[in-house]
Each structure stands twice: as structure tokens, then as C-alpha cells.
Structure 1
């Protein structure tokens, strides 16, 4: 899938030139969460960005949602994904993929409950100029 993500960006958008929240707010990403842009381009009114996201053990993305779909490949570790009803909506191990639903009615958090760093490669398909994520308050879950 990693190759497919890169191929999709390169092939579909001609150049390829991941749970941290970029908006200020209630539930920032945990300490040590890092991101790096692998490639990005804009076609029409859509921004395509491929990012690598690293989440240390015990940390999270903070509660957030996206303005468009996000497709991710778990390069290393295990992603535990939770929805705003405080329920697990998936556990994704190395080599698996995830498609995150989008919009303010799809608030979620990604957590690294393992003992090794979690590394994701995430393709964001967003309306031009949108942030990677929109911060959201904790919906009342016992974890951040």
C-alpha cells in the first residue's frame, strides 16, 4: 500500500513533491510527535500531501477531524484508533492501511499504546488550503 500511496500521488497528480493536529486548541498532540512532508502538490481545488508521522510510545495525535479523506500506511508499530463515542474503531499493525472518514462528525484520536515508535505514511486529500487536521475537544473519553 505504501507503494500504491506514492504511486497514486505521483501518477495521479504528476508529482509527489499521517495524527499531528495543527490547529491550536483543546487536545494537542502528545510530546515528541513529529511529522515530515514527503511530497505535496495541488491539482484543481485539491491538495495532495504525503506525510510521515512518528508517534512515540504512550502518545497520541490529540482529538481531531479532517476536511477530506486521509489514507495511511502503518510503516512501523501499531496504531490504536478511537472514535468520539470512546470506542475503538480499529487497531492497525505494521503493514496495514487505514482510511479515515472526514468531517466534523468524525472526531477521532490515534494512539500509540505499544512500546515502540509508531510510524505512519499518510496521504491527505484535502480542499485547497485546508489544514491537515482540525483540533477538537475531548468528547469526554478517559484518555487524551
Structure 2
């Protein structure tokens, strides 16, 4: 399961999501749809961990592209509804505004986020990554008939 709704156990992530200050950036995927964008709001390295706060926007009808992350992501849907699909092409969640999302780390968690609605999806995202890791790693379409 690539994404789960559940209470966040990480104090920082819980505080950021509860406060509505997480910002999600566009995952650099294969390829993201036109207009998908991300803006870094804050970043900090502590020991061997990078913390990056981003705002990610997916216009209506667009997608992140297929990708995975080397660390865990904690997100909140600020606006719109995000549809999330795993590498089996199955939906593993539909997340309306106010929903919390956790994306686990690793190449075994390939996924795509899609905006199937008529309004932009805006995500607040906290990336918790090994220091120096990219925000996302591109993956090929696993054979799904959509991008």
C-alpha cells in the first residue's frame, strides 16, 4: 500500500500538517503533466536527514508522473481531490481536501498522483529524506493505460 491515511507519529510532521504549513512540490516524475509545479518553502538538514517543506500544485486533469521517494513523505491535501495509484495500476486512495497522506520510502513504492477533478489540487508536503537525496526518483510507467 503506497499511501495510508493515519495519525502521524512524527512530532514535526504532525505539527506541520496540523498547522497547515506543509507545502508539496511537484514530484519530478516520468513525466509530470503540463503546469505541475512545486515550490520549496523551507529546508533543513539535521544529521543525515534532509527535511524539505514544499507546496505542490497539480492543475485539473494533470498527474505527477510515476516516481518513488528515498524517504517518507507526509502530506495534507489543502485543495481539490488527489487520486493515488500504485504500480499495479490500482487506486490505493482518493484524498479530498483536509486528508493526510503518508507515502513510504523505496523503489518498492512506485506511484502516481492524479488530479481527476475540475479544480487544481494543492498539496502541503514534508519530505523526510536521507541527506543529499533527490525529492523523487523517476520511474517508468509500470504498464498502466494512463499517465
Q: In structure 2, what is the equivalent of residue 59 of structure 1? A: 62
User: 1:5 aligns to what SS in structure 2?
Assistant: helix
Q: In structure 2, what is the equivalent of residue 39 of structure 1? A: 42
Change (3 A) 1:64 1:120: same
Change (3 A) 1:19 1:105: farther
Q: 1:80 aligns with which of 79, 83, 97?
A: 83
User: 1:4 aligns to what SS in structure 2?
Assistant: helix
Which stretches of structure 1, 4 residues or longer, exceed 6 Å deviation after superposition? none
Change (3 A) 1:90 1:6: closer
Q: How many residues align?
A: 134
**Shift of residue 22, structure 1, vs aligned partner:** 3.1
Q: Distance in 1 between matches of 2:81 and 2:18?
A: 24
**Shift of residue 19, structure 1, vs aligned partner:** 6.4
Alignment of 1:79-98 (within 5 A): 79-98=82-101
> Unpaired runs of 5+ in structure 2?
1-7
State yes or no: 1:129 paired with 2:135: no
User: 1:81 aligns to what SS in structure 2?
Assistant: strand
RMSD over aligned CA atoms reads 2.3
Say if 2:63 and 2:113, in contact at 8 Å, map to a contact too: yes
Q: 1:21 aligns with which of 21, 27, 42?
A: 27
Q: Distance in 1 between matches of 2:18 and 2:38?
A: 21
Say if 1:67 and 1:130, in contact at 8 Å, map to a contact too: yes
Deviations 1:81-125 (A, max 9, x none): 000000000000001110001100110000000000000000000
Return the TM-score normalized by structure 1: 0.86
